[in-house]
Amino acid sequence: MVSVSKGLPATLRRSRCVQCVGWLLAAIVVPWLLCVPASACSLALVVAVDVSASISESEYDLQQRGIAGALRDPSVLEAIETVGGIWLHSFEWSGRYQQNTLLDWRFLSDEASAHAAADEILSNTRDSREFLTALGPALVHARGILNTAPQRCDRQVIDVSADGINNQGEEPRFVYATLDFSEVTVNALVILKDDMTLNYYTDKVITGPGAFIQSTLRYEDYTEAMTRKLIREILGYGFAELR
């Protein structure tokens, strides 16, 4: 008498078993992958540009062209590509309530994206001319902008550009004591009109891991200063240095 199995053939049973294991793994692994956060980017950078009453029209123009020129500089482009891209936001500031976006969050990863960002910054017109220098409120605004970054980044940096000290609103140290800047670096590009300005930014403004000042004596050298500053910020040179 020939025995007839009521089950499936052995090879088919093994095939079904392997298939079931595959489904089980998929049920476990796929949801896990969906929950894993995206890889962190290298840098979220906010460039905050002083346009208070102390900045003349020609100086404003040199600032705008300086930022755009730095973003187009081959060394900056190389730095951006080296770290796999950065998130950039830029705004201009003056009085307590005067903060105007120049460039909303943009991911820069190559020459095309960096040049497009430079073009957009240049397309802006000055938002204000008559207000005081409210650096503290500008830092509050910049900190809030970092909270809206589209991606979690390894480093968060605020790049302040100015030629004078705070003369309206909260002082920077009060802002740092009130808000959480524990994972934020604040650097400064200072146009040196007097020694007091340099000392002020050294003692009261720059803060965080590797914070530094990039200084220049003239607005005519703004492009070079911004280029050096961006390279250092993008590559993450963790050494506080006074220049």
- The pLDDT score that the predictor gives to residue 126 is 82
86-93 and 99-108 beta bridge pairing:
antiparallel
Look at the alpha carbons of 15, 17, 21, 24 in this order and tell me if their dihedral is positive or negative: positive
- The pLDDT score that the predictor gives to residue 39 is 53
Topology classification of domain 43-235: Rossmann fold (3.40.50)
What are the CA-CA distances from residue 74 to residues 46, 114, 237 (Å)?
Answer: 21, 10, 18
- Kindly state the tokens that stand for 36: 């894993």
**Could you give the percent of the chain with pLDDT greater than 90?**
69
SS3 readout for the chain: CCCCCCCCCHHHHHHHHHHHHHHHHHHHHHHHHHHCCCCCEEEEEEEEEECCCCCCHHHHHHHHHHHHHHHHCHHHHHHHHHCCCEEEEEEEECCCCCEEEEEEEEEECCHHHHHHHHHHHHCCCCCCCCCCCCHHHHHHHHHHHHHCCCCCEEEEEEEEEECCCCCCCCCHHHHHHHCCCCCEEEEEEEECCCHHHHHHHHHHHCECCCCCEEEECCHHHHHHHHHHHHHHHHHCCCCCCEC
pLDDT, tens digit, for every residue of 24-81? 444 443 343 333 334 569 999 999 999 998 899 999 999 999 999 999 999 999 999 9
Lowest mean pLDDT among 74-78, 117-121, 179-183, 234-238: 234-238
Is residue 147 a contact partner of residue 179, using CB atoms and an 8 Å limit?
Answer: no
Where do the structural domains in the chain lie, given as residue ranges? 43-235
- The pLDDT score that the predictor gives to residue 130 is 75
**pLDDT grade for 8, boundaries at 50, 70 and 90:** very low
Is residue 193 a contact partner of residue 200, using CB atoms and an 8 Å limit?
Answer: no
Model confidence pTM above 0.75: yes
